[in-house]
Every structure is written in C-alpha cells, then in structure tokens.
Chain A
Amino acid sequence: MTEKEYDKIPGTIVFDADKSREGYHLNQFCISLRLQENRDAFNKNEEAYLDAYPMSKEQREAVLKREWNLLLELGGNIYYTSKLAANDGINFQNLAGRMTGMGVDSYREMMLKGGRSIEGNRDKSEWGED
C-alpha cells in the first residue's frame, strides 16, 4: 500500500476510510453498547451477543480480551471502543492510561503536569521506529 503522509506520526492511528471499512462491524458492535438494554444482553453472554456482528476472528478475540490498542489497529475508532470501555467502567482517561502503557496513575500525573510534550513525538524516527 502507498504510504500515507500521516503514517510517520508515532503512536497514532488515523481513522481514515480504509480503517473505517475494515472496522465497520467492530465499530457498530461497540456503538450498540451506548444503550443499556444492549449492554445487559452483552454482559449476560458476550459470545452470543457478538454473533450478531460479522467481524473478523481477530477483531472478535480483541474484543473478548479487551486489547485496546489492537482494537484500534484492526479498524476500531476510539469514540467507538470507548463505549466498550465505558461498559467495563473504564473512562476516557483510564483508557488512555492503558493504551499508552503508562498505567492510570502516571498518565493522570502526566496530564496534570501539562500533558505529553510534542517534542520528541512528531516523527516515528524519534521513537526509534521506521
């Protein structure tokens, strides 16, 4: 695939049309959890609830295992996956603590100190990535 101009930004997945296509059923599953009756059904039997959404095996596994970063890599978008997190009692800030690998407390501490600096976080080369 041709490289996209935003592929060089480290630690970032841009939810573009390709990701949206790939993640369609995953995201529609996540957004269904906006409603209490759906959350009840999902929490009663996750596997059975997921059967209604023809997502890939990998996506389904990532949902069941709550692999938050993998969900994004497989086409999930944060505004959708955050509904799954909310169902589990995880708010946006705590979810970020998990996705960054920092843990909830040090993530919160970083935000209180002004957030993650842009310096050293513009290009994958600064992260030692391609």
Chain B
Amino acid sequence: MAKIIAGVGCSHVPAIGVAMDTGITHEEYWKPVFEGFKKSREWMKKQNPDVIFLVYNDHCTAFDARCIPTFALGCGVEFQPADEGWGPRPVPPVKNHQKMASHIAQSLVLNEFDITIMNEMEVDHGLTVPLSVMFGDIKQNDEWPSLVIPLCVNVVQYPAPTGNRCYNLGKAIRRAIESYEEDLNVIIFGTGGMSHQLQYKRAGLINSDWDKRFLDLMTEDPVGASQITHLEYLRETGSEGIEMVMWLIMRGALNENVTEVHRHYHVPASNTAVGHIILENNA
C-alpha cells in the first residue's frame, strides 16, 4: 500500500525561483535563505519519494477571476510551468502519478470533500518554487526526481478555506493515499507563507514571533493550529499570510505525533518571511 512518510512546510516566494534561475543564490542577500535548505536537499535525496502530494496556491495563472475553485486536484498527465508575465521558469514539466490522482479524486468526493478535477492545468511559481528549493537545480531537459500530484487551494479571494477544513481535508487525503494499493512512498508538501503582506499601505508586515509559534504548533499542537481564525491570520501575519492554511492540509495528513527533523526561518526574501519545516511520521 502507499504510505505518507513525511510532511514538508515551505514558502514559495517567486524571487527565490528567480534567484535560482539566474544563478545568484551565492549573493549575500540570498545566501542565508538557501543555507537553510542544504540539509533539506540531502534529506530529500535520502527519502527519494515516489510521489509528492503538493498543496499549493495558484496566483491567477491557471485560475483567473473567471473561475475560483476552493480545492482543485491535478489529474492530468503533466503540468507545464506557466508564463507568469516574465517567461516560464526554466524547469521541467511536472509529471503526475495519474492513476493515484484519480484514486484520490474519487476517494475525496466519497469522503465528502467535493474537489474540482483538473485534467489540463499550467502551474506557476506556487508549485515549482517549493520543488526547486527542495530538490535543488534541476535542468529544464531533465526530470523532477519524483512524480507530483498537485492540489491547488484558493487563498487569493477571501475567504480561503478555514484551517479546520484544511486540517480535515489532510486527514481525508491520507485515507485516500493509504488506500492506494501500490507500494509507494509519498511526501506531502504544504506551501506558502509565512507572514507577509504584499499590498496597500501596510505592505511589508512581518511577524516573526507569530511565525515561530506557528512552526512550534505544526510540530506540537496541530489541532490548536487548525483553530486559528482568518481574522488572526489577516491581522497578525498580513493579508497574504493566510496562505498558511495550506500547511494545515499537510499537517492533517500526518500522525498526531511527528518528529521534527529540520526547521529554517529567515527574513526577508523580497517582501516575505521564509519558513520551512520537515516533519517525519513516527513509525
């Protein structure tokens, strides 16, 4: 049977992708950001997951204002990196485990999570930047080391799904994955965050104390974290900090007791606090 072995929380700041794509990660500004992912890349190599279930958000790329699904599951064969206005990132297309994705789609709906099924979808930095930071440089003509099942969450138009809903969706995703009959190792990613506000007069807000408490809760008290209100996210972590509900989907798919094997936190990357955590499911 398939098995979720670990969860990864990780920011997706577009400028991190640009730094990798233009080869400036050694510069003073970027060095501390990437230093914190060294251990993560070694860990990824060792885990060598067959499949990554990647929870992310689209930035009006695949879904502009015409269509705003709260949860959309990628079920197509592969997903091309999108042109977000400055050319597509020079990274390989993302290949799906299509059979497992179909199984998950069916299982989720029968478990009363009525997701949208996407058979054609481009993916933006929200998905490819976390892959890049965790795998390191992968050339455009190469392949990502793992298959990827994308789950896209609306966090652009308020309200995003509640933390509680996300946490429970994570549990349903786990049931779906672990009822898939092939013996596969799966790592689930929850991406986005941490505190940041990109817009209007309060732009630039960073709340490191809050972020660090959130990382603690990820390890020690996920149920507590699932009860954080939208108002608290908006006020304490900035209008775009609400992306962190996506980490709760990842956390819901893990055991209540996990082992934190790595954590990284740095301010700033462009307008954003970069946060990262690796949690292994205790055997």
Contact = CB atoms under 8 A, between A and B. Distances in A.
A116 B239 CA distance: 13
Contact of B206 (A14, A16, A17, A114): A114
A98 B273 CA distance: 20
Contacts of A115: 195, 204-206, 267-268, 271, 273
B14 interface: yes
Contacts of B156: 15, 77, 79
Given A16-B157, A79-B59, A115-B204, A72 B199 contact: yes
Interface in B215-243: 230-231, 234-236, 238-240
Interface string A16-39: 110010011001100101111001
Of the four ranges (under 10, 10 to 19, 20 to 34, 35 or more), the interface on chain B belongs to 35 or more
Interface of A is mostly: helix
Interface string A88-126: 000011001001110000010011101111100110000
B210 A99 contact: no
A20 B88 CA distance: 27
Contacts, number: 143
A20 B86 contact: no
22 contacts: A5-B231, A13-B200, A13-B239, A27-B64, A27-B65, A28-B65, A31-B65, A35-B83, A83-B85, A86-B86, A87-B85, A92-B14, A92-B198, A92-B270, A92-B271, A93-B15, A99-B200, A111-B271, A115-B205, A117-B206, A118-B236, A121-B202
Given A15-B158, A69-B200, A99-B199, A20 B234 contact: no
A80 interface: yes
A111 B65 CA distance: 30
A20 B65 contact: yes
A100 B202 CA distance: 7
Contacts of B66: 28
A80 B60 contact: yes
Of the four ranges (under 10, 10 to 19, 20 to 34, 35 or more), the interface on chain A belongs to 35 or more
Interface string A56-69: 00000000000001
B267 A100 contact: no
* 5 residue pairs, one from A and one from B, having the closest CB atoms: A115-B206, A11-B202, A11-B201, A78-B199, A96-B203
Nearest to A123: B235
B84 interface: yes
A12 B158 contact: no
B208 A114 contact: yes
B124 to A, nearest CB: 10
Given A31-B65, A34-B84, A122-B235, A10 B202 contact: yes
A60 B207 CA distance: 35
B158 A16 contact: yes
B205 A100 contact: no
A12 B64 contact: no
A93 B204 CA distance: 9
A103 to B, nearest CB: 12
Nearest to A16: B158
Contacts of B15: 92-93
A10 B267 contact: no
A118 B202 CA distance: 10
A36 B83 CA distance: 9
A121 B65 contact: no
A96 B198 contact: yes
Contact of B234 (A12, A34, A114): A12
A79 B268 contact: no
Given A34-B85, A86-B86, 4 more contacts: A11-B200, A11-B201, A12-B197, A23-B65
B201 A10 contact: yes
Nearest to B13: A92
